[in-house]
Structure 1
Amino acid sequence: MNVQEVEIVLYGAETLCPSCVNLPSSKETYEWLEAAIARKFPSQPFKMTYVDIHQPAGENDKVDFAKKVIEEDMFYPVVVIKEKVVGEGNPRLKTIFAELEKYGYQAI
């Protein structure tokens, strides 16, 4: 199995998105997503990164995208894989899994 390790970046905030009142927090979504991916694709490497949109740190591209989330009033959390937005507000596992499969991930 030839899997290219993919970084999944979740952009979120401590406070809930105004339009996402009944949804889990960004941190809860991050933990849920990390566990779901590990269950779906066991023993296949991936990297999860959380970026706080109000206090972004790290690489310039992540800081710039965090600013974009605020400036464009995107629904957060926003899930990004290889610079492609694959989830916004209430990310869907089916969409995220399909994107990972494009990089060689296989459900076991």
Structure 2
Amino acid sequence: MKKEAEIFVYGADQICASCVNLPSSKETYEWLEAAISRKFPDQPFTIRYIDIFNPPEEEEAKAFSKRIIEEDLFYPVVTVGSEMIGEGNPRLKDVYKKLEEYGYQAM
């Protein structure tokens, strides 16, 4: 494995207006964490949920949260490292592909 992936799920308690009938941001976060753990067991990764309306003090998280709001992106927005992988209803296949680029191997 090249390096440990850092996955961020940016979202909010309120479901995005264009994302009605889709899972909430927190549900997506929990689903991704479970799915990645099953697909890549014993391969470490970090996954964090970030509330776009109350981001942590880290500049990168604050700036990306502001971008989501200003550009009206559909949330949740999923990033691996600093690369946006999906928004609204992220595709698990895209997340897996990016992790494989990091050197993760499906079991």
Residue segments in structure 2 that go unaligned for 5+ positions in a row: none
Matching residue of 2:85: 86
Amino acid at match of 1:42: P
The correspondence of residues 4-83 of structure 1 with structure 2, limited to 5 A, is 4-83=3-82
- 1:3 is displaced (CA, Å) by 4.3
SS at match of 1:19: helix
Residue 17 of structure 2 aligns to a residue whose secondary structure is coil
1:33-60 residue CA offsets vs partner (Å, 9 max, x unmatched): 0000000000000000111000111411
Deviations 1:41-81 (A, max 9, x none): 00000000111000111411011100100000000000001
% identical equivalent positions: 60
Number of aligned residue pairs: 107
Report the residue type matching 1:103 in the other structure: Y
Structure 1 runs (4+) greater than 6 angstroms displaced:
none
Counterparts in 2 of 1:37 and 1:58: CA distance versus 1, 3 Å: farther
Between Structure 1 and Structure 2, the one with more helix by share is 2
TM-score (norm 1): 0.96
CA RMSD after TM alignment = 0.8
Q: Which amino acid aligns with 1:53?
A: I
TM-score, normalised relative to structure 2: 0.97
